[in-house]
Amino acid sequence: MKIFKNVIFSFLVSVTCSIHALAEIKAVELSTPILNPQIQFKETLHDFKRIKTGEKAIHIFEFKNIGGSDLIIYNIKPTCGCTGAIASTGPYRPGESGTIKVEYDSRAKTGFAQKDVTVESNDPKSPHSLRIEGLVLGEHHPTVNSADVLFTGSCVECHSMPAKGKKGKELYDAVCYLCHDLPQASGKKPIAPDQETLAQLSKRELKKVTSKGMPKTTMPGFSHKAGGPLSEEQIESLLEYLKSIRKK
């Protein structure tokens, strides 16, 4: 019995020592300062809600160097139609803050807009991405007489290009919202069924219309096979999104 008690005691001592050792290691990890520069943004996404065509969306992104050495901003790369500017490239000493001004020009643009700015610095985790997005409401929209025009000329900027790399709700907001949910400048209802109405259709019917279009209407086929911008995978993601909002 005495031997058994000694074994139990030794085991408890071993466990206790292990716990203390782990706690000490964790404490050392937490107390070790970050030696490299580290940029921390107050936010990386800004929704400018709605603006009218021709207006500018401007936002100031704030950042701070929470690392242990000087932070230097090497480059700021905006996507098309967007500009990014910084008051100073640094160096920003540990604890110092700075700002990056991002501006989006909506001239000749309508629909859902999403623009990214890439920030390159000497932070080991660089680059970092900033994004502004929102809806651009057109005062006037050209009359669409045929489905084919949506993928040609200036229409491409709203009905085709924004689809690249997107799926699900993000894809719907980028290319479908403009015709199906956005009220017209005159105050009239959207020119096509809204997403709640579309969600009530069967998956088979939705896929057929989305992929091949509707004859004698301004709805074109959006699949690659029909000359549109969407892959089969993207179309499936749209169907899944509409299914998720279907009223029970």
Every domain range in the chain assigned CATH 2.60.40.10? 34-139
What pLDDT, on the 0 to 100 scale, is given for residue 189? Answer: 63
What pLDDT, on the 0 to 100 scale, is given for residue 59? Answer: 95
What pLDDT, on the 0 to 100 scale, is given for residue 236? Answer: 95
User: Beta strands 128-137 and 45-52: pairing type?
Assistant: parallel
What pLDDT, on the 0 to 100 scale, is given for residue 182? Answer: 65
Residue for token pair 């690659």? 224
In order along its 248 residues, the chain shows pLDDT tens digits of: 545 445 444 544 454 555 555 555 444 444 455 799 999 999 999 999 888 888 899 999 999 999 999 999 999 988 776 777 887 889 999 999 999 999 998 877 777 788 889 999 999 999 999 999 888 877 655 555 556 667 776 677 778 888 888 999 888 888 887 788 765 544 556 667 888 888 888 889 999 989 988 887 778 889 999 888 999 999 999 999 988 988 65
What pLDDT, on the 0 to 100 scale, is given for residue 85? Answer: 82
Domain 141-248 = CATH 3.40.1160.10: no
- Give the class (CATH, top level) of 34-139: mainly beta
What pLDDT, on the 0 to 100 scale, is given for residue 132? Answer: 92
What pLDDT, on the 0 to 100 scale, is given for residue 20? Answer: 54
What pLDDT, on the 0 to 100 scale, is given for residue 180? Answer: 81
Every domain range in the chain assigned CATH 1.10.760.10? 141-248
